[in-house]
Structure 1
């Protein structure tokens, strides 16, 4: 019988265990951030398991990058919406006349 490759979730769990000393050495405010990175990697475990990449860190890093790109896109959309709203409200004075806009 052949050997069975560990699942990506198994690999990720072992990797998280290996990084536990690093996590403990981090400042308390940074520990949840590291936890979040592993959460990002777990969210893409199904896709990473199909890759079966020889470098076990590569799919983890790409998964983290994907999640961070998604967050950046969401934040950029929110900023654009807020800028639009700010422009809409600053275009009018209290008396209803137009106001000169300045760049943000």
Structure 2
């Protein structure tokens, strides 16, 4: 029988587990941040399945970066809205 290819979610879980020693070496606050990054990557598991041209971990990193950038954009909009309220 052939080997089964793990689903995107399974792959992300395996990757997170492979970083367990790295995670243990981090401070608690950094451990929580790393956990959140992997959670962010899981939000894009479907996209990971379709990105067959790239290495799966590259897509996971891009997914993490995408979520972080969305947060930066949200915060920029919030700051801009507050700035408009103060000036207008």
- For normalisation by structure 2, the TM-score amounts to 0.89
In the TM superposition, 1:1-104 aligns within 5 A as 2-53=2-53, 55-88=55-88
Cα deviation for residue 22 of structure 1 reads 0.8
Aligned residues: 88
Superposed CA RMSD in Å reads 1.4
Q: Which runs of 5+ in 2 are unaligned?
A: none
- For normalisation by structure 1, the TM-score amounts to 0.77
Bigger Cα displacement from structure 2, 2-11 vs 71-80: 2-11
Which structure's CA Rg is the greater one? 1
Q: Which runs of 5+ in 1 are unaligned?
A: 89-104
